[in-house]
Every structure is written in C-alpha cells, then in structure tokens.
Amino acid sequence: MHLPKAELHLHIEGTLEPELAFALAERNGVALPYATTDELRAAYRFDDLQSFLDLYYALMAVLRTEGDFAELVDAYLARAAAQGVRHAEIFFDPQAHTARGVPIGTVVEGLGRALERSEETHGVSTQLIMCFLRDLSAESALGTLDAAKPYLHRISAIGLDSAEAGHPPAKFREVYEAATALGLRKVAHAGEEGPPEYIREALDVLGVERIDHGLRCMEDPELVARLAADRVPLTLCPLSNVRLRAVDRLADHPLPAMLAAGLHCTVNSDDPAYFGGYAGDNFDAVRDALALGPEQLRTLARNSFEAAFLDHDEERRARYLAEVEAHTFD
Ligand SMILES: [Zn+2]
C-alpha cells in the first residue's frame, strides 16, 4: 500500500534478504550452511521464536564492513520507499556485531553513511535508534552506550529488544538515565511476550516515549485507559505477531479493538525479510484480514507521523501529514 507512512519499528538486521546474504557471504568469504538462496529462503519459514533467533544471529555473520551495512540500509530504503514509507526510524543492535568482533564504529558509520544520503537517493528521511539486547547484562548495555559516544551525532534514541520474558525494563534503569543525560530519546520493546507490567515499568522507570509492540496492554483495562489518555504511541507489527505466535491468525489481531479503545497505534514491519513483508505489506494485510476502511488506515498513517521523532522539524511533519490527507485509496 502506497499510503504515505512513517516506519517506527524496524530492525535493520531483520531486513537481510537471502540474495543479499549470499552476495555478502561470498564477498567476505563467510560460509553459510545453505547451498542456494532457495534453500535459505526455505529456512526463513521458521515457525517459532528460537529457530528465528538462531537463523537471525547466524546470518549476521555476513555483515563485516561499513560498505556491507550501507548496502543493507540501501536495500531496505529502496523497498520501504516503494511501499510509501516517507520517514523511517531504524533500530540497530550494536552488541550483536561487537560480540563477533565488528567495531561499533564500523556499524554506525556504515549505517550512517547510507542514511545521510537517503533523502536524496530514496526520498525517505531517517533517524537511527541504538537498541540494547535485554538478555545481556545492564553492564554490557552501559559499556555499549559508552562505546557509542563518538558517534552520538548519528543516533537519536535508544531502545531495548530481543528476548523479553524474564528481562524486565527496570534492569536497564541506569543505562536509560545515562542516555537521558546525553540528550537521547527513549523507546523500548514491552508487552509483546512480557506482561502488561513491563509496559508500566518502561514508562515509569525508563521514561520511554513510545512502546514497541505493547500488544499485551489489552489484558489490563487500567493500563489501556492510561495509554490512551496520555497518547503513548504503540508500534505494532501485525505480520511479526502472527509469525512469532503472539496471535494465532491475523484475523484475531487486537488492532481494531486497540483503535476503538483510543490507543495511538502505528503499523510497522519489525524484521520484514523474516516475517513476510515490509510496511506497506503490513498495511495491506491488516486491511484485508481485519477489514479496516480508508479512514482507519489513514488514522494509522497519521499516527505514525505524529509519533515520529520530528520535533526538530515540525514543518516536515506537517508536510507528511498533509500527504496522508491528500492520499486517495484505489
Ligand atoms: Zn522489534
């Protein structure tokens, strides 16, 4: 769907398509345990979280140089732009790369170089969000924030991702305080597999401005009322929810109920190479499975620009919002 939209929940490592994985593996002399792109494509049809994570981390081995990271970003932006994405706030996981010997500077400079020219090349404005792996320690996150200090001009915000259960937001209180002192904005994954309480903690202890996923707030009416009253943006990823079994079928997704409850929902792709589609594909899928009409789709697009970190450029936000209003559905 070409409706203009902002993508606010996108892991750049999750945009690695099999063809690019093979090209980079060959260039870098990395052996992949798959003979052909078809065989690898078949492995992308995993059916649980662990097989997804195994494949996801195994394939990252092909990303070695600044040029590799730049190419990954370019490939994503081309696909996103073709599906109406006008602004993208992109997550990356520095610890997944530094753990295998790639310096954080290589990662940030490679991503940053491609993002710098994204408006000119793809017509997409961008920001970069540095995420911490929540199954690693708080000390590791603090060390990563420290290592990122020379590159903060390229980074707008911090986030928290990977396996949620058993790793409550409060574990990262100190790193979020340190990031606040550095002038960074804050988001966190919460309430995907973790309980509604994690959403409260992300807001109250970490001071996040947006909740990534947040689906399980629906189990807690008091929390729903609070999120709606405070207009806290939730970055939902419907196709991801189906692939990782947060919902059984897209037709069961709570998005319509969430919109009806007045929640500030947005629709995003999470790890699009792995979960069956990019931002526009997610819009198409919810339109079809949940029978969303043009006004609901327009609300989702409007919400995405309202939730974007564009406070330094309200003129741009207004321009994007005007594009949403002017869009005609065919
Ligand atoms: Zn995510």
DSSP per-residue letters across 166-185: T--GGGGHHHHHHHHHTT-E
pLDDT interval class at 4 (50, 70, 90): very high
Per-residue pLDDT, averaged over 119-130, amounts to 98
User: Sheet of 264-267: strands edge to edge?
Assistant: 5-7, 85-92, 125-133, 157-161, 185-190, 210-213, 233-236, 264-267
What is the rounded distance in angstroms from the CA atom of residue 292 to the CA atom of residue 273?
24
Asked if pLDDT for residue 52 goes beyond 90, the answer is no
Q: In a 3-state reduction of DSSP, which class is residue 35?
A: coil
In degrees, rounded to 5, the angle at the alpha carbon of residue 54 between the alpha carbons of residues 25 and 47 is 115
Instruction: Find out whether 285 and 250 touch, Cβ atoms under 8 Å.
Output: yes
Instruction: Label residues 136-169 b or e (16+ Cβ within 10 Å = b).
Output: bebebbbebbebbeebeebbbbbbbbbebeebbb
Between the CA of 212 and the centroid of ligand 1 the distance, in Å, is 7
Between the CA of 328 and the centroid of ligand 1 the distance, in Å, is 30
Asked if pLDDT for residue 198 goes beyond 90, the answer is yes
pLDDT of 21: 96
pLDDT of 256: 98
Asked if pLDDT for residue 296 goes beyond 90, the answer is yes
The structure's pTM equals 0.97
pLDDT of 5: 98
Q: In a 3-state reduction of DSSP, which class is residue 75?
A: helix
Share of the chain above pLDDT 90, in %: 90
Between the CA of 307 and the centroid of ligand 1 the distance, in Å, is 16
Phi first, then psi: give them for residue 310, nearest 5 degrees.
-115, 20
Asked if pLDDT for residue 47 goes beyond 80, the answer is no
pLDDT interval class at 330 (50, 70, 90): confident
Question: What digits encode the pLDDT tens for the residues 21-37?
Answer: 999 999 999 999 898 98
What is the rounded distance in angstroms from the CA atom of residue 219 to the CA atom of residue 266?
19
Tell me the CB-side half-sphere exposure of residue 146, using CA atoms within 13 A: 7
Per-residue pLDDT, averaged over 146-171, amounts to 96
pLDDT of 163: 85
Tokens of 12: 């750049």
Question: What digits encode the pLDDT tens for the residues 184-195?
Answer: 999 999 999 999
Tokens of 63: 């990303």
The whole-chain average pLDDT of the chain stands at: 96
Considering only 43-47, 66-70, 274-278, which range has the smallest mean pLDDT? 43-47
Between the CA of 326 and the centroid of ligand 1 the distance, in Å, is 30
The active-site residue, picked from 192, 209, 219, 306, is 192
Q: Judge whether 192 counts as a catalytic residue.
A: yes
pLDDT interval class at 328 (50, 70, 90): very high
DSSP 204-230: HTS--SEEEE-GGGGG-HHHHHHHHHT
pLDDT interval class at 51 (50, 70, 90): confident
Between the CA of 192 and the centroid of ligand 1 the distance, in Å, is 9
pLDDT interval class at 309 (50, 70, 90): very high
Asked if pLDDT for residue 54 goes beyond 90, the answer is no
